Amino acid sequence: MAKMNEAEFKARIKSTAEDNVFLLYGDEKVQIRHYLEKLRERTVGKTPDEFCCRTITQEDELQTLYDAVLSAPSFLAEKIFVSVLDFDFTSLSDAEADELAALIASTPLTTVLVFACPTTSPSFAKGGNKKLLNAVDKSGVAVSFEQLSDTALEKQLVYWATKRDVKLNEYDAARIVSYCGRDLALLKNELDKLCAYKAHAEITRDDIEKFVTKNLEARIFDLASYIINGSPDKAISQINILISQKESPQGIISVLGGVYVDIYRVRAALESGESIDSLAKRLNYGKRSFVLQKAQRHSKKLSNSALRLSLNAIADTNAQLNSSSADGKILLEKLVARLTLIRTEEKH
């Protein structure tokens, strides 16, 4: 049986297919844990008898796995569910790997056997792990849970909110993704927090601004806002916070430069008669077009000359960060002062 993606697997387990051997691996650990639980519920129900479920971990011997797979269900159940979690098969000898493949091929129909990697991300390119993948691929279902696209993440957030009887539109879901990044576990935590606050209601943009923990990009957008709006003390305080949180000066200036580049792009587009929506589409910003809308608001506070001088100042500081041993924090603070001066001089 060919390896499946998540969409194919979701449809498969909803069908009447009698698959009883699975391998769940990949980057999206939330999804792996979710489908592991789904397979358990499908096999032994939501509240199974303890004798129906066996869990094998790295601390167990291979013989424990063999005994669990080949054991008969108790008189209270039709099947048993065996989950093998984060087990490292890379050190198996050829003989052991062959025995494991034979076990997988002869797994009784009364046993559902699931190999899953809910916390680790092993390679299946060689050794025992590769033989495990090949064996499951022949006799069961192997599913790689790759990192979701931005669009898929947004739809997942909307789906989770709907399941909690909370409304969330995809544009605000995109805002959450832009603030938190693409880690699904982190996104779920942030959504759970919002849903608990807005039970049976609608998550608004204000709710997101107040309660969602922002990632580096979002916090540096705040830094740029402080500078452009004439609050250098707040900007320097934000830099201190970022440095204390172990963000590198190079990473900070890279994202800060991106904010100013977005302002430049918006300015150039508007002056040429292009709309923000058209620019967002051309640059593949998708539902993150609100980033360009923010950039448009900032662009009203900077002249073309000030914008060019600001970009040059950022480039100069970036060069100093990469070519000298000077204190990065001090260089960033000097940059804030320089950008503030550029803004002030242009206004007057």
Nearest to 177 by CA among 157, 202, 198, 196: 157
How do residues 134-163 score in pLDDT, each as one tens digit?
999 998 999 999 878 888 889 999 999 999
pTM (whole model) above 0.85:
no
Rounded to the nearest 10 degrees, how much is the dihedral formed by the CA atoms of 224, 227, 231, 236? 80
251 pLDDT more than 70: yes
pLDDT computed for residue 315 by the predictor = 95
1 pLDDT more than 70: no
pLDDT bucket at 11, cuts 50 / 70 / 90: confident
With a pLDDT cut of 90, the percent of the chain lying above it is 56
Residue type, position 262, single letter: D
pLDDT computed for residue 347 by the predictor = 60
CA-only gyration radius of the chain, Å: 27
191 pLDDT more than 70: yes
pLDDT computed for residue 348 by the predictor = 52
CB under 8 Å to 140, separation ≥6 — which residues?
1, 19, 20, 21, 22, 23, 104, 107, 113
* Between residues 77 and 176, the one the model is more confident about: 176
C-alpha atoms less than 13 angstroms from C-alpha of 71 in its C-beta half-sphere = 18
What's the mean pLDDT in 176-202? 89
Distance CA 185, CA 238 (A): 26
2 pLDDT more than 60: no
pLDDT computed for residue 182 by the predictor = 78
Give the single-character DSSP code of 142. E
CATH architecture classification, 150-211: Orthogonal Bundle (1.10)
Distance CA 311, CA 219 (A): 19
* Between residues 202 and 76, the one the model is more confident about: 202
pLDDT computed for residue 346 by the predictor = 64
How do residues 22-70 score in pLDDT, each as one tens digit?
999 998 898 999 999 999 999 988 887 778 899 999 999 999 999 999 9
CA distances (Å), 250 to each of 36, 183, 273, 318, in order?
40, 22, 35, 7
CB under 8 Å to 73, separation ≥6 — which residues?
52, 79, 80, 110
Of 57-66, 73-82, 226-235, minimum mean pLDDT range: 73-82
CA distances (Å), 183 to each of 31, 146, 218, 291, 297, in order?
11, 12, 15, 20, 29
pLDDT computed for residue 65 by the predictor = 94
Q: Are 30 and 188 in contact (CB under 8 A)?
A: yes
Owner of token pair 């830094």: 223
113 pLDDT more than 70: yes
pLDDT computed for residue 192 by the predictor = 94
How do residues 276-329 score in pLDDT, each as one tens digit?
888 888 888 876 677 888 888 888 889 999 999 999 999 999 999 988 788 999
Query: Tell me, which fold does domain 216-347 have in CATH?
Result: Zinc Finger, Delta Prime; domain 3 (1.20.272)
pLDDT computed for residue 4 by the predictor = 81
Query: Tell me, which fold does domain 6-145 have in CATH?
Result: Rossmann fold (3.40.50)
Provide the pairing of β-strand 53-56 with 80-85.
Answer: parallel
What residue spans define the domains of the chain? 6-145, 150-211, 216-347
pLDDT computed for residue 290 by the predictor = 75
